[in-house]
Amino acid sequence: MIVTALRDILGTDQDVSGPGWNSRRLLLASDGMGFSLTDTVIKKGALLEIEYTHHLEACYCVEGNGQIKTSDDETWHPVEPFTLYALDQHDRHMVRATDADLRLVCVFNPPLSGGEVHRKDGSYAPSS
């Protein structure tokens, strides 16, 4: 069994951040679960353009308000508590936090190794 508290991850190498976001990696590839799980915060006012070419991602909003759209779509979809979005086609997308920080619980497949940060194209490198 694996038991992890967020407070034990804060300030460690599993607490990864970049411009406009912070990802606390709760489960990693090394945990052997076949997926990773993060507690991610997108900062109020941030607009991120991301494309996970090597990962599928599902996000469940637990706090805050924001919006998401794929780059091919003009429609912004609301993201609010108890809303899920899944990027099942390696979708290039934009996500923004509107009136407060947006807090998401995210699952990645294949799992993250831990230190990933967004590259210039918005993706993470392939998992090793």
Instruction: Supply the CATH number for residue 53's domain.
Output: 2.60.120.10
- pTM, 2 dp: 0.88
Question: Per the structure, how many domains does the chain have?
Answer: 1
Q: Is 105 part of a structural domain of the chain?
A: yes
Q: Dump pLDDT digits (tens) for 7-23.
A: 999 999 999 999 999 99
Domain hosting 50: range is 23-109
Q: Is 11 part of a structural domain of the chain?
A: no
Which positions ≥6 away from 6 have C-beta within 8 Å?
24, 26, 39
* Of residues 122 and 84, more confidently modeled: 84
> Strands 15-18 and 21-27, how do they pair?
antiparallel
Q: Is 115 part of a structural domain of the chain?
A: no
Q: What is the pLDDT of residue 120?
A: 65
